[in-house]
Structure 1
């Protein structure tokens, strides 16, 4: 049976709903952005990952690393990259599609680097870059 992956629009819309619904970034106890942070917060990628699929080894692994050849992944990230790939695949994300992984990376960056006051502009920019409908952003 062939897997029905989430479309880029579904991924984007889910990230927008999640970020604005949550209202802030997911942060690790000692600082830094997280897939799963304090107070139950998640980054948009962490929100895709099922509770049983999450492992702390994923933290500090940029999502873009799931496409890197094994010899380009630092050894200390091996387990995290493998776990992240597996978890996203179980979430019906096409982890072998470069455009999908690039979209995930941009969404992760919007969460990790930009302040909440900048999210609307950044998410609209991501929608334009990937040819997606960004109208949902305007509802928040």
Structure 2
């Protein structure tokens, strides 16, 4: 299986977030890769179900920006997301920040702008 392109990652995450229209978080309001009601965050939506485990929660992709290893990175790589590619990591970081920090009503407009910035739409 080949690695997902930036365009494929953007399209998959955008479609997921716009369909879900809700933040993935725990009962304390902290963002989670996999939250209640089957919700997934931008990054969580890319991780294959059989590779998800609770120990990859806690640190977002931005935390790994300068790291080259970690449980979350290994789960993403095994899910065909090339976390060794700086362009991909930057795209993931911006998608994560959008999910975590922007109001759901702003997602369509912000996702469109993000896609244009990354030249994937």
Say whether the fold is shared (TM-score over 0.5): yes
Q: Tell me the alpha carbon deviations over residues 77-109 of structure 1, each in whole angstroms, 9 at most, x when there is no partner.
A: xxxx62101110111111111110010011111
Q: 1:66 aligns with which of 54, 60, 64?
A: 64
Aligned to 2:70: 82
| Alignment partners' CA distance in 1, 2:48 and 2:2 | 17
1:18 maps to 2:38 = no
Judge conservation of contact 1:67–1:95 (CA < 8 Å) in 2.
Answer: no
Q: CA contact under 8 A between 1:66 and 1:95: conserved in structure 2?
A: no
Report the Cα distance in structure 2 between the residues aligned to 1:4 and 1:112, rounded to whole angstroms.
Answer: 29
TM-score, normalisation: structure 1: 0.80
Aligned length: 121
Q: Is the 8 A contact 2:47 2:76 kept in 1?
A: yes
Where 1:61 maps in the other structure, the secondary structure is coil
Answer whether contact 2:34 2:41 (CA < 8 A) is retained.
Answer: yes
Taking structure 2 as the reference length, the TM-score comes to 0.91
Structure 1 residue matching 2:70: 3-state secondary structure:
helix
Which ranges in structure 1 are unaligned for 5 or more consecutive residues?
A: 71-80, 134-140
Instruction: Describe the superposition over 1:84-140 as per-residue Cα deviations: whole angstroms up to 9, x where unpaired.
Output: 01110111111111110010011111111111111012111211211111xxxxxxx
Q: CA deviation at 1:66?
A: 3.0
User: Within 2, Cα distance between the matches of 1:46 and 1:63?
Assistant: 10
Q: Could you report, residue by residue, the CA deviation over 1:22-42 in whole angstroms, capped at 9, with x for unpaired residues?
A: 121101121111100011100
Computing the radius of gyration from Cα coordinates, the structure with the larger value is: 1
Where does residue 53 of structure 1 map in the other structure? 51
Instruction: Within 5 Å, give how 1:1-140 maps onto structure 2.
Output: 4-69=2-67, 82-133=70-121
